[in-house]
Amino acid sequence: MTEAAPQRPVILAVDDDTAVLSAVRGDLRSKYGRNYRLLTASGGAEAVTTLERLKLRGDPVAVVISDQRMPQVTGVEVLSKALELFPEVRTVLLTAYADTEVAIGAINDLHLDYYILKPWDPPEERLFPIIDDLLEDWHAHNQPGHAMTRVVGSRWSARTHEIRDFLQRNQIPMQWFDVDTSEEGRLLVEAAGDDGLPLVITPDGTALHTPDVAALAAALGHRTHADAEAFDLAIVGAGPAGLAAAVYGASEGLRTVCVEASVAGGQAGQSSRIENYLGFPTGISGSDLARRAVTQARRFNVEVLAPTSVLNLDLGGPYPRMELTDGSTLSCGAVILACGVSYRSLDVPGSAELEGRGVFYGASLSERDTVTGEDIVVVGGANSAGQAAVYFSEYARTVTILCRAPSLGAKMSAYLVDQIAVRPNIAVRCGATIRSVSGTEGLETVSVADSSSGSAVDIAASALFVFIGASPHTDWLPPQIARDERGFILTGPALGSRRFKTADGDRDPFLYETGVAGVFAVGDVRSGSMKRVASAVGEGSVAVQFVHQVLRS
């Protein structure tokens, strides 16, 4: 039997001015007419009717572009309806200069993706790049059913959580079936053979029973081996700092490899929405930022290897040499360490036993479905905790934030504090610490103590997301890489009187250079760094300028 051809996604343009509507239709058709269905509506009411009809037909809607000033139904109302019917749709508001405040309001209220000032001539500069970007985002989150990776497992399984988290952070389209409640999940297990859960079925039909992340990545075609053995620049870690270094290094002619032990994006990749990163007025999720950065790096021919771990950094030869977990080695002229940090363990009774079964470190956005309608707890007082609390409050019945500090404003950005304050299902308990966690199959209770009075109370919760400080990934480094008392890497002036001998005489370490010439450290793993995405990107890009000086010497 011949399968039906997949439906082309819809781009809907709305404007009550016939001349403007004709212009936007013509521009969009010239660029996107072959791969998308271009529909138009000559007013807000007609647009809403069109959207409702598309919903009933099950047609995919990728982008809605609407003028703001229309009688009866405004552009903001059209886009609001579009998001109600198609939560993944990308939205664009066409505005005059005088409507800028309306557009900013829509960014805050609707998470509007973009607004375009009329006129948009030339479209090659002021329209197409925006639509291209939005379509790429939409396709990253919307794949046809046959391209889905299916996961069958229990919500209380740590391995199931690990697999779902890996797929979500890599933006691999996934369907998850809870074996305890899903008939479809049980049928898939019967068809694949009951050889252990979780069961992962790849888009080509391969069934993997209890795979680890490395085996899953290989089955999905992730690149984990380098094509060459020698590079100008090797970067350890693909968080914002490492990816920035990769893009700047490769774009300036350096043969570059970037090795990531887990998932590109680092801790920032777990953020549901970063709203204070320059150039993204509507905010951007950490996984979207990572995807864009990886795409940009690969465009400049960076070899991004993930998941691949570095076992050892050999500094005994004329050039640094990295030994990887697969037994291969990479030699390089310079190294940038951007290996990041992980959240510290909770270390209270019950936490180790329930890790991955209700106790999670980091945002674990893949758990959105499991916390819907339930009571959850977020531990921490910095931005990562605030972003997670805001995100999960859209799904959970209640979110309780536990913070040791006397107020959230001590470490959290004001915009997040303000958002938390207006969400009725978020409760904040400052001056609070966790005594223990408990549960049988999964997490059930969190015991919380007030640090001033010492009195304790039990909170019922099915999930606990922990953000309580960071431990650097530096245990694998040789002793020549100097570190502070907490394990963070010392660089530049922090090395004190350290000097390097060169052909041109002795020199001081460069700003981000470690105790070994030609080895740099940037981002969260560096002692004294500012734990923000923007500063990590800045450090990664600046370090490349020093790499050039090392390679020339």
CATH of the domain at 196: 3.40.30.10
198 is in which domain, residue-wise? 146-219
- Residue 6: predicted pLDDT: 63
- Measured CA to CA, the distance from residue 363 to residue 270 in angstroms comes to 6
Predicted local confidence at residue 3, as pLDDT: 45
Q: Identify whether the C-beta of residue 197 lies closer than 8 Å to the C-beta of residue 152.
A: yes
What is the spatial distance between Cα 420 and Cα 413, in angstroms, rounded to a whole number?
Answer: 11
- Cα atoms found within 13 Å of the Cα of residue 4, Cβ hemisphere only: 5
Q: What is the CATH number of the domain that holds 494?
A: 3.50.50.60
Give a yes or no: residue 347 inside a domain.
Answer: no
CATH code, domain carrying 107:
3.40.50.2300
Do the bridges between strand 500-502 and strand 505-507 make them parallel or antiparallel, or are there none, so unpaired? Answer: antiparallel
Distance CA 200, CA 216 (A): 8
Please tell me whether residues 464 and 485 are part of one structural domain.
no
Q: Which residues pair with 177 in a beta bridge?
A: 152
Domain check: are 33 and 95 in the same one? yes
| φ and ψ at residue 138, rounded to 5 degrees | -60, -45
Looking at the structure, do residues 27 and 120 belong to the same domain, yes or no? Answer: yes
Identify the pLDDT of residue 298: 96
One domain for residues 127 and 273:
no
Do 238 and 269 belong together in one domain? Answer: yes
89 and 34 belong to one structural domain: yes
Q: Quick one: angle between helices 75-85 and 44-57, nearest 10? A: 10
The pairing of strands 10-14 and 61-67 is parallel
Residue 143: predicted pLDDT? 79
Rounded CA gap, 56 and 484, in Å?
61
Q: Is residue 123 domain-shared with residue 212, that is, in the same domain?
A: no
Query: Are 163 and 210 found together in one domain?
Result: yes
Q: Do residue 80 and residue 26 come from a single domain?
A: yes
Q: Identify the segments of the chain with pLDDT beneath 70.
A: 1-6
Is the same domain home to 370 and 333?
no
Residues 21, 65 within the same domain: yes
Q: Establish if 5 belongs to a structural domain.
A: no
Residues 448 and 513 in one domain: no
CA atoms within 13 A on the CB side of 346: 30
List the beta bridge partners of residue 93.
66, 115
Q: Is residue 453 part of a domain?
A: yes
Q: Is the dihedral of CA 124, 130, 132, 135 positive or negative?
A: negative
Q: Which of 418, 438, 468 is the last residue of a domain?
A: 468
